[in-house]
Amino acid sequence: LLAVSGVTLATIEENDTDVDLRYAGGLPPHSIEAIVQGGLDADVAAALWAAKAGGIRTYGTSSAATLDTNGATRTVYFTRPTLVNAYAEVTVEVNAATYDADHSDMMDAVANVTTGQLAGAPIRRSDVNIAARAVTGVIDCTRVRLGRTALGVTDLNLTCTVREVLKLASARVTVVLVT
């Protein structure tokens, strides 16, 4: 799957038992779930069909049709990671003479931390701190809080599952100035 054009991440989950584990967030018996970020659906389906063993079914939230070696159309299932909105609160000490008073440079810099974010990858407070300190007029970044809601930000890195991609946006960045 990683050889498919545009694929940036591929993870395979497997249930090789006779037990249906869907009730516990798992997979049906004798199945695989490919969690794939990037690539075209048809290309992912073709590569997955070509790589999987006979008798093993595919499972997931997305699907695409592909042809098997006999020319029969097969539906192949896989999962695309879900985008999850992330929120940041950044406390900075600034030089008022050179800092952008409307905070747009800061909000954009912090949001850009998640450009190219991979499924399952955390947003690290240290990365946000580095981005904030690079903004013109910032003397120091004294606190970074992250969360999945504006009111749920904490002083911890923000984690997610391999089925999720965390995404910041300028509108979800709050800037707190200290003097």
Question: For residue 70, how many other CB atoms are within 10 A of its CB?
Answer: 6
**pLDDT at residue 33, rounded to an integer:** 95
Q: What is the pLDDT of residues 108-132, one digit of tens each?
A: 999 999 999 999 999 999 999 999 9
β-strand 87-94 against 173-178: which pairing, if any?
parallel
Confidence of residue 34 (pLDDT cuts 50, 70, 90): very high
Listed residue (95, 90, 87) closest to 166, CA to CA: 87
pLDDT tens, position by position, 134-154: 999 999 999 999 999 999 999
The pLDDT tens digits of the residues spanning 71-101 come to: 999 999 999 999 999 999 999 999 999 998 8
pTM: 0.86
DSSP 8-state assignment for residue 86: -
* Residue pointed to by tokens 């984690």: 159
